[in-house]
Amino acid sequence: EAGVAQSPRYKIIEKRQSVAFWCNPISGHATLYWYQQILGQGPKLLIQFQNNGVVDDSQLPKDRFSAERLKGVDSTLKIQPAKLEDSAVYLCASSPDDPWLRTFGSGTRLTVV
Amino acid sequence: QKEVEQNSGPLSVPEGAIASLNCTYSDRGSQSFFWYRQYSGKSPELIMSIYSNGDKEDGRFTAQLNKASQYVSLLIRDSQPSDSATYLCAVNILNSGGYQKVTFGTGTKLQVIP
């Protein structure tokens, strides 16, 4: 079974620039998650999709972050404009009907300078 | 009060010893509890889940849950250098829309010394 694919692996941008991350979940997984993990902290849920509908985005900074899930499969997370404090690893995860068996992708490490 | 609290460590144990990792949570309604292992520069991977009070064993790992005390722990027996990683405690919390949201602690860094 192929895992959760994410790209790019690394990204360095200047503050106020925009950036986008892509995630392709495991085939057939209905739920997709985007997490932000700042160095030394645990992952923080930014947004959770069930198929292509949003079920939780309470911690998504909506003034600068946006996310969509196309046709209930792939997803993109965008930051515009980026701030220094957005430097983190952005993890995508997916799960089947059982929400606990989530599998994480390898993540995108974002550095904002 | 943080929703999920862990001691950040590092916790250092000698090879072959028992490592004990602890976690407390604030939501009394939480029903599901998880331990993830995260190696440096890697993504978290689920190693244990527990839903009922008591102990759950899987190989060298034992998860312990006490809902009355809002406490969950992970014991690693016969610790190996390969167990050196950050261990994340995660707890499900029901969000306002009725969906389960898993909240992570900050993690405890474990160092197993050969």
Query: In 3-state terms, what secondary structure has residue B81?
Result: helix
Q: Which residue has the tokens 């474990």?
A: B110
A56 chain-B contacts, CB cut-off 8 A: 95, 97, 99, 101
Residue B13 backbone dihedrals phi, psi, to 5 degrees: -135, 150
- Distance from the Cα of A106 to chain B's closest Cα (Å) equals 6
pLDDT per residue as tens digits for the range A16-73:
999 999 999 999 999 999 999 999 999 999 999 988 899 889 999 999 999 999 888 9
**Token pair 């430097």 in the structure block, residue:** A87
- Say whether residue B32 is in contact with chain A using an 8 A CB cutoff: yes
In three-state form (DSSP H/G/I as H, E/B as E, the rest C), the secondary structure along chain A is CCCCEEECCEEEECCCCCEEEEEECCCCCCEEEEEEECCCCCCEEEEEEECCEEEECCCCCCCCEEEEEHHHCCEEEEECCCCHHHCEEEEEEEECCCCCCCEECCCEEEEEC
Task: Give the pLDDT confidence of B51-90 residue by residue, as tens digits.
Answer: 999 999 999 999 999 999 999 999 999 999 999 999 999 9
The verdict on a CB contact (< 8 Å) between A100 and B106 is: no
What pLDDT digit, counting tens, does each position of B13-37 carry? 999 999 999 999 998 888 899 999 9
Question: B96 pLDDT exceeds 90?
Answer: no
Tell me if A100 and B45 make a contact (CB, 8 A cut-off): no
Residue A98 confidence (pLDDT): 66
Residue A99 has pLDDT above 70, yes or no: no
- Given an 8 Å threshold on Cβ–Cβ distance, is B107 in contact with A42? yes
Q: Which residues pair with A77 in a beta bridge?
A: A21, A67
Residue indicated by tokens 């993890």? A91
Task: Report CB contact under 8 Å: B95, A105.
Answer: no
> Helix or strand or coil: residue B6?
strand
pLDDT of residue B99: 75
Whether the CB-CB separation of A66 and A57 falls below 8 Å is answered with no
Does residue B105 sit at the A interface (CB-CB below 8 Å)? yes
Identify whether A43 is preceded by a cis peptide bond (ω within 30 of 0): no
Answer yes or no: are the C-beta atoms of B34 and B101 closer than 8 Å.
no
CB spacing of A40 vs B8 below 8 angstroms: yes
Q: Which residue shows structure tokens 């306002």?
A: B96
Pairing relationship of beta strands B85-94 and B19-25 according to DSSP bridges: unpaired
- At residue B48, does pLDDT exceed 80? yes
3-state secondary structure of B17: coil
Question: Which pLDDT does position B100 carry in this prediction?
Answer: 75
Q: Which is it for the CA torsion A27, B45, B39, A91, positive or negative?
A: positive
